[in-house]
Amino acid sequence: MNVAPRAWMDADLEMLRDTARRFFERECVPHEARWTAQHHADREIWNKAGQAGLLCASIPEEYGGGGGSFLHEAVICEEQAGAMVAAFSNNVHSGIVAHYILAYGTEAQKHRWLPRMATGELVAAIAMSEPGAGTDLQRIKTSAVRDGGDYIINGSKTFITNGHHANLVVVAVKTDAAAGAKGVSLVVLEVDGLAGFRRGRILEKLGQKTLDTAELFFDNVRVPAENLLGGEEGKGFAQLMQQLPQERLLIAVGSVATMHRAIAETTAYVRQREVFGKPLMALQNTRFKLAECQTQATVARSFVDDCIARLQRGELDVPTAAMAKWWTTDTNCRIVDECLQLFGGYGYMTEYPIARLYADVRVGKIYGGANEVMKEIIARAMDR
């Protein structure tokens, strides 16, 4: 079937797409079963991704990055999602943490961390969520108390993507326990050999089983005050909020790529599976279901492409990014569910990609801001 050309693609991005596609197929897909069993990818995948130019693609060359834009991150994200490789979160590493450092870091901080993130020497994580504070981030309890030229950090974080491999962790802390959102700051920790830092277990998840989601603990961890992102206390909440449209759009980009993979898997299956002497594809229900899925995936891609164009022009606002996030993740779950149904019992077997997708996509409605929160953001903008 003809897919409409993407207005924002060009020859440079096509080359990157090709590189990314080959990378995920050769370096990741063959290891999926082993990585699933050990609950994490091999650490060296980060260095390989760095060598292939897939890390920090949207970070300027002067900081060791690829010198590209959000379009480069989008291409890599689409190829990773399309290949069903969850093994390492480049979205968190390059799409989120690198951009916090680029946007708010001092020159010294950018030169110190970004080049090593681009090679994969540093693996980055963002640690906001705590056992008692997820959606309501103002309630975080992890504290950073000034002691001379240092901060002393105490607390714990949970659900941290890349948490097992990460050696550069941006931690949301309270520098002023009494000040609510204005008391939140972001501190960057190089955690290798850092006294008082401990990783908890890799968490057992419903899906994305190759991804090292972990708990992190901080017990009187001492870091120099110069590790405060941007150098000014109390800016953390505003820093987190400003990056949200881009982060949420990346989730939407991945969701759309997954929809198309699910539909391709299912179309191939129903064309060869026979029921009552003819291919499953010959039944009107199958045809209509797939036609509906294809339509929704196509509409989703158009909307997300429009959001990408807006982001590139600096015009993607928070409510529109929230629409993209909730609607694509919700639609993704519905499409994968419809597709799984067409596989019958085989769709329930984890050796079939559609079963894995079913488990993998569910979290899209929860992380990056729960979808209910997205709707609240949209409604608030309508109620002014």
Ligand X SMILES: Cc1cc2nc3c(=O)[nH]c(=O)nc-3n(C[C@H](O)[C@H](O)[C@H](O)COP(=O)(O)OP(=O)(O)OC[C@H]3O[C@@H](n4cnc5c(N)ncnc54)[C@H](O)[C@@H]3O)c2cc1C
- Residues binding ligand X (CB under 6 A): 92, 125-129, 134-136, 159-161, 205, 213, 363, 366-367, 370, 372-373, 376
Phi, psi (degrees; rounded to nearest 5) at 233: -70, 155
355 and 347 Cβ atoms separated by less than 8 Å: yes
Q: How far is the CB of 213 from ligand X (least distance, A)?
A: 5
Residue 49's contacts (CB-CB under 8 Å, 6 or more residues apart) are 23, 27, 55, 88, 90, 120
Considering the candidates 27, 73, 247, 265, report the single residue annotated as catalytic.
247
Residue 315 annotated as catalytic = no
Of 18 and 376, the one with the shorter C-beta distance to ligand X is 376
Contacts 24+ apart (CB under 8 A), 30-36: 31/87, 32/84, 32/85, 32/87, 32/210, 35/87, 35/210, 36/209, 36/210
Least distance in angstroms from the C-beta of 259 to ligand X = 19
Torsion angle (degrees, nearest 10) of CA 360, 363, 368, 372: 150
DSSP letter for each residue of 178-214: TSGGGGEEEEEEE-TT-TTEEEEEEP--SS-TTS--E
Q: Which CB, 259 or 363, lies closer to ligand X?
A: 363
**Smallest distance, ligand X to C-beta of residue 5, A:** 34
How many CB atoms are located within 10 Å of the residue 356 CB?
20
Strand 124-127 to 168-174 pairing: parallel
Among residues 51 and 138, whose Cβ is nearest to ligand X?
Answer: 138
Report the distance separating Cα 360 and Cα 32, nearest Å.
14
Enter the tokens of residue 313. 């022009």
State the Cα torsion 226-227-233-237 to the nearest 10°: 160
- Name the residue nearer to ligand X (CB basis): 126 or 339: 126
Q: How far is the CB of 139 from ligand X (least distance, A)?
A: 9
Q: Which of 175, 167, 178 is nearest to 225 (CA)?
A: 175
- Position closest to ligand X via CB: 134
What is the CB neighbour count within 10 angstroms for residue 359? 15
Q: Minimal distance in Å, beta carbon 215 to ligand X?
A: 11
Give the residue with the Cβ less far from ligand X, 132 or 344: 132
CB nearer ligand X, residue 127 or residue 339: 127
Pick the closer one to ligand X by CB: 160 or 191: 160
Report the relative pairing of strands 168-174 and 184-190 from DSSP bridges.
antiparallel
Q: Which is nearer to ligand X, 281 or 374 (CB)?
A: 374
**Cα–Cα separations (whole angstroms), residue 181 to 90, 129, 189, 244, 319:** 28, 14, 21, 16, 20
**How near is the Cβ of 136 to ligand X at its closest, in Å?**
6
Instruction: Report residue 213 as tokens.
Output: 């989601």
Element counts in the chain: helices (H) and strands (E):
13, 9
Helix (H, G, I), strand (E, B) or coil at 221: strand
Which sequence positions are flagged as catalytic?
247
